[in-house]
A and B are shown apart, each in its own frame.
Chain A
Amino acid sequence: MIVVDDLHKHFGGARAVDGASLSIEPGSITGLIGPNGAGKTTLFNVIAGELAPTSGRVTLGGDDITGLPPHALFARGLLRTFQIAHEFGSMSVRENLMMVPGGQSGERLMNALFSRARIAREERLLAERADEVLDFLTIAHLADERAANLSGGQKKLLELGRTMMVDARIVFLDEVGAGVNRTLLNTIGDAIQRLNRERGYTFVVIEHDMDFIDRLCDPVICMAEGRVLAEGTLAQIRANEQVIEAYLGTGLRKRPGTDETTAQDGSDAHLAFPHPLASDAVVRGPITLSGESLSSAS
């Protein structure tokens, strides 16, 4: 579907993308992983027309799309979401979604003056569609909220929702999971799988959550230093020595409880004051300052 051939993007002396070549199969959910600074987001930005490449070629379904501006790519069904959500803060969540489809009648002055009924009809349909999308994403109760008031994770959902307002062919998700609660991330994962299965979307997903990648993505591409380091199933990637060294690591060096300043049993015996939370009990419901449950105290 997408073929990237020897793509370079240099910022002065810094080679953010340095000869990346890869291809994305139609109908796949491809995971793109790699250490911070590997060039993943820059690669997205070049493919999505945000940045012009220094050299190299990108094709979509055989057509050369290198350097096309984002709106031209949008018309061809190539959409992306941002690592840091880009919402219209002063508009409602529903309006943010209704914005997405292009070529609406109300955009033309003559229609705005003389075709009120048509515009109203169109907007009603769009609002319905937006509400369906919000329902799908489990944030229907926020439809009339100003987008600026959403939490970080909810904004991420809105980002994903935008791609559902039109018939996309390929969607690039830039860290849709960063800042999203893990339970909600599972919901997003379900949504991605459904869109993939039912509407035939192809996805390319940048994500650091390996559980998420494991659930959704095959194949997985690992980038490092602007190039493709390895490609394969996640199991193959996980076994790759270079990937472990550059990206996955081997876990926390300083686990709590392994240091002499913490008691060996992992309790908080080093604390200066006795704290009820230091016990192994989980307190349910509201608490007082000393950590006692309000409900059982009253």
Chain B
Amino acid sequence: MSEPFLVGENLVGGYGQADVLHGCTIAVDRGEIAVIVGPNGAGKSTAMKALFGMLSLREGGVRLDGESIDALSPQQRVVHGMGFVPQNANVFPSMTVEENLEMGAFIRRDDIAGTMNEVFELFPILKEKRRQPAGELSGGQRQQVAVGRALMTRPRTLLLDEPTAGVSPIVMDELFDRIIDVARTGIPILMVEQNARQALAIADRGYVLVQGRNAYSGSGAALLADDDVRRSFLGG
């Protein structure tokens, strides 16, 4: 039995003295969407950072396609095919949309025009606004720039930290549609989401974290159907 494409196993670590993660395990495989949900301060974003190498772990490790990547810096992990979209400050505000996308492709040496067209196809609004500074876009549009930029590296796996924070319902549906599209191309997607109900509805795997530990795990549908999960984390 082969293991999932991206695995963070038994993660223990945090900032300074205090640990935020207390041995949680997160995994996502090809063609899958995995979603991390949980209360504020549960370590969801921290778990993402740990997978991306922005947090030094005291225990546990991260494997990509079966190989340990613990020794790699975040930059090297991008080269190895990890795309990461952080929660805030995820665009260059003074650069145009197009320049932001070009920055995303910084590590590539081949022709990026095709990928850029694909991104514009996914997010038509970005094509329309490609000459406008990203800082002038609204919150939801910026989020699309950030996801688009991550796609420019043609990542083998994509980590999204709250992609739908601050986007309108219609754009949220659209973003989730796009995320499903991206997942269908075989790219494993791991995301942290507060719109838990909608995110779990499209999730192959769901993880509920509480205080840096796995509290509930299961398919998105199973978690949605679970009474305890509904009451505690989905607001009834």
> Footprint of B on A, CB under 8 Å?
11, 14, 33-38, 41, 83-84, 142, 149-154, 157, 175, 178-186, 208-211, 246-249, 251-256, 259, 261, 266-268, 270-275, 277-291
Contact = CB atoms under 8 A, between A and B. Distances in A.
A271 B194 contact: no
A154 B46 CA distance: 14
Contact of A286 (B23, B31, B181): B23
A282 B216 contact: yes
Contacts of B205: 275, 277
Interface residues of B, number: 76
Contacts of B138: 36-38, 41
Interface in B97-131: 125
A14 B218 contact: no
B176 interface: yes
B91 to A, nearest CB: 12
27 contacts: A14-B132, A35-B171, A151-B45, A152-B45, A152-B165, A175-B139, A178-B139, A181-B233, A182-B194, A182-B197, A182-B233, A182-B235, A185-B235, A247-B169, A249-B174, A252-B201, A254-B180, A255-B201, A259-B184, A261-B184, A271-B204, A272-B29, A274-B1, A275-B29, A281-B218, A282-B223, A287-B25
B214 A286 contact: yes
B39 A181 contact: yes
A53 to B, nearest CB: 17
Given A152-B45, A289-B3, A266 B9 contact: no
Given A270-B31, A286-B214, A281 B222 contact: yes
A263 to B, nearest CB: 11
Interface of B: 1-4, 7, 9, 15, 23-25, 27, 29-32, 37-42, 44-45, 87-88, 125, 132, 136-141, 162, 165-174, 176-177, 180-181, 184, 194-198, 201-202, 204-205, 213-219, 221-223, 225-226, 229, 232-236
**Chain A interface mostly:** loop
Contacts of B214: 283, 285-287
Given A261-B184, A270-B31, 18 more contacts: A35-B170, A84-B88, A152-B162, A175-B166, A178-B139, A182-B196, A183-B233, A208-B166, A210-B169, A248-B169, A259-B184, A271-B204, A282-B223, A283-B217, A284-B216, A285-B213, A286-B24, A289-B7
A80 to B, nearest CB: 15
**Chain B interface mostly:** mixed
B180 A256 contact: yes
